[in-house]
Amino acid sequence: MNNNPKEAVDFANSIKDSMKSSEADVVFCVPFVSLAPVMEALKGTNIAVGAQNMHFEDSGAFTGEISGKMLAAMGVPYVIIGHSERRQYFNETDETVNLKTKKALSCGLTPIVCVGETLTQREQDITVDLVRMQVRIAMLGVSKDDAKKVVIAYEPIWAIGTGKTATDQQAEEACKAVRQVLSEIYNQATADAIRVQYGGSVTPANAKALFAMPNIDGGLVGGASLKPDFEVVANA
């Protein structure tokens, strides 16, 4: 919940030229009120736009919610599902994440599905078990072909907005667990085709080492995406 529409457009305009030669797929996930103007500002560039949330129903008495069909009608290609802050503050559950993931896919959207543990859960050494469970529930009922369209982001809740970052090895261990359980649900080829990201205080200083790990295909970037040197992260 940062930047009004004008500020979001100004930021998009300030960075789009520097991203022209980027080999990375870059997506700006902005608040609902900024989707239309930011999409207009980035039209014709190699930067896509995504929403930060959606509802799992197409329409109905859900005041304040936005449906996947609404996003698709706007031409929005991506949507974040089950971000740790949605789970922590707005009662998102593994089951609603699954419903939203399937609905996003049915609307032609690419869901960026978030999984991750709290500090207590990490201290109890259940990170891998928890992440595996979250992935299994999120992907319940998702076909092999649709699974390849999903992005999964491992974001340890204890590292969101705290300045703490999982070590390269911790992040790799969790992302490897994500890949492993995907291979069990589907097969290895499908698991390899699914993009697995790390999110949790990614910065220009740590991005390159994190993204160099074999099972980390990129980042779900939070606070650093609000700063001009975001291009350093995106090109890491």
Widest distance between CA atoms in the chain: 48
Structural domains present in the chain: 50-234 (3.20.20.70)
Task: For residue 112, count CB atoms less than 10 angstroms from its CB and return exposed for 0-12, middle for 13-18, buried for 19 or more.
Answer: buried
Note whether 215 and 178 are within 8 A (CB).
yes
Residue 121 predicted with pLDDT over 70: yes
Mean pLDDT value of segment 101-105: 98
Q: Which residues of 31-51 are buried (b: 16+ CB within 10 A; e: fewer)?
A: beebbebbbebbeeeebbbbb
Surface-to-core class of residue 145, CB atoms within 10 Å of its CB (0-12 exposed, 13-18 middle, 19+ buried) = exposed
**Cα–Cα dist 85/66, whole Å:** 17
204: left (phi over 0), alpha (psi -120 to 50) or beta: alpha
Candidate list 55, 83, 92, 231, residue with the active-site label = 83
Under the banding of pLDDT at 50, 70 and 90, the label for residue 236 is: low
Is residue 83 among the annotated active site residues?
Answer: yes
**Mean per-residue pLDDT for 64-68?**
97
Q: What integer best gives the mean pLDDT of the chain? A: 93
Report pLDDT for 126.
Answer: 95
Digit-coded pLDDT (tens) for 185-233:
999 999 999 999 998 888 888 888 999 999 999 999 988 788 877 777 7
Q: Which of 85, 92, 117, 155 is catalytic?
A: 155
95 is catalytic: no
pLDDT value at residue 216: 96
pLDDT digits (tens, 9 = 90+) for 148-190: 999 999 999 887 767 777 889 999 999 999 999 999 999 999 9
